[in-house]
Amino acid sequence: MNFLRPVHGTTDEVLGALAEWLAAPGEPEPLVVATSGSTGRPKQVLLSRRAMLASAEATHQRLGAPGRWLLTLPISYVAGLQVAIRSLLAGQPPIVVDDDWTAAVEQLDGVGYTSLVPTQLHRILTDADAHGDGGAALAALTRLDAVLLGGGPLDPALRARAEAAGVRVIATYGASETSGGCVYDGVPLPGALVEIDAESRIRLGGATIFDGYLDDPELTAETLRDGWYLTSDLGRIVDGRLQVLGRADDVVISGGVKVPMPAVAARLREHPDVDLVEMVGLPDPEWGQRVVAVVTGAAAPELVALRAWVADRLDRRWAPQQLVRLAALPLLDNGKPDRAEIRRLAEEAR
């Protein structure tokens, strides 16, 4: 398989090619890994073997030991690729999880890990609640030495539910451009670097950084500066730990007020009758941009009640001006919310 194109193929095909790539002499051609495209056009990221190995080895160092990994994510994206590479480095191929979590964990004969996105964990916990017996998937997670959660913000309430059930959760932050997660629970992995620039943008550097974008020198020059990857996220460092405040474009100016959309979403997720939440800002002739809450949950309250819920804890001017209800959030192949499609649905509901 020629990796000078986005990684694709069946799981077995990619695993075989990865094993050859890892064993190749010298420094082989880089992987070309597509980003999820959750906010726009997917990018083609060039990832060297050196960077991918640095990430995998640092992960095992932080977790305490190499182990076999359960693969639940698409192998064509960086999170799934890293699961495969970590497991291969530990001496065994990853265990592909279909629907039978019990059978998957029974194949483990030592240290075991997996990597999920928050939506997957939410569904596992919801299914466990519905069954009343804990659920097979949740029982499987409790037998693992760690469960990495990445690909989006992790709601503290969701984490608390998982940890109360006995799951060892580690929140990860990173990107395809950093060979996957490079900051675990706010602390950079060995060899990874974090800085906050003058505009509060997060910059990531170190051994796991990508080589550039395929056939896009302008975007490469804009994003990769002196070995540092300039993210689209805002952050701060408190007591030595990185706090991600949200994307730079997640601050919507509505009626002259800067509304931090992640903070509003986090407050809405605390409502007992709200399931999942995404926030979007839409053009509005009166407000400039209108704050829209897109929620799931059969019993989710009406807009006036949700506005009161937000205003009870946050600036009342941050409260959503429109509510869009969906039966389920549209997702990308890797389990992340499809923000472009969510925005389109919100625009249609005007």
* Tens digit of each residue's pLDDT (9 = 90 or more) over 266-292: 899 999 999 899 999 999 878 889 999
pLDDT at 333: 79
pLDDT mean across residues, the chain: 90
Q: Give all domains of the chain, ordered by start, each with its CATH number.
A: 11-243 (3.40.50.12780), 255-348 (3.30.300.30)
Report pLDDT digits (tens) over 290-312. Answer: 999 999 988 889 999 999 999 99
* Residue scoring higher pLDDT (186 or 118): 186
pLDDT at 37: 61
**Would you place residue 173 in the very low, low, confident or very high pLDDT band (cuts 50, 70, 90)?**
very high
Q: What is the share, in percent, of the chain residues with pLDDT greater than 90?
A: 66
Per-residue pLDDT for 10 more than 90?
A: no
pTM of the model: 0.80
Per-residue pLDDT for 39 more than 80?
A: no
Top mean pLDDT of 35-49, 155-169, 200-214 is at 200-214
Per-residue pLDDT for 6 more than 80?
A: no
Instruction: Show the 3-state SS of the chain.
Output: CCCCCECCCCHHHHHHHHHHHHHCCCCCCCEEEECCCCCCCCCEEEECHHHHHHHHHHHHHHHCCCCEEEECCCCCCHHHHHHHHHHHHCCCCCEECCCCHHHHHHCCCCCEEEEECHHHHHHHHHHHHHHCCCCHHHHHHHCCCEEEECCCCCCHHHHHHHHHCCCCEEEEEEEHHHCEEEEECCEECCCEEEEECCCCEEEEEECCCCCEECCCHHHHHHHEECCEEEEEEEEEEECCEEEEEEEHHHEEEECCEEEEHHHHHHHHHCCCCCCCEEEEEEEECCCEEEEEEEECCCCCCCHHHHHHHHHHHCCHHHCCCEEEECCCCCECCCCCECHHHHHHHHHHCC
pLDDT at 122: 86
The lowest-confidence range among 54-58, 110-114, 340-344 is 340-344
Average pLDDT over residues 316-332: 93
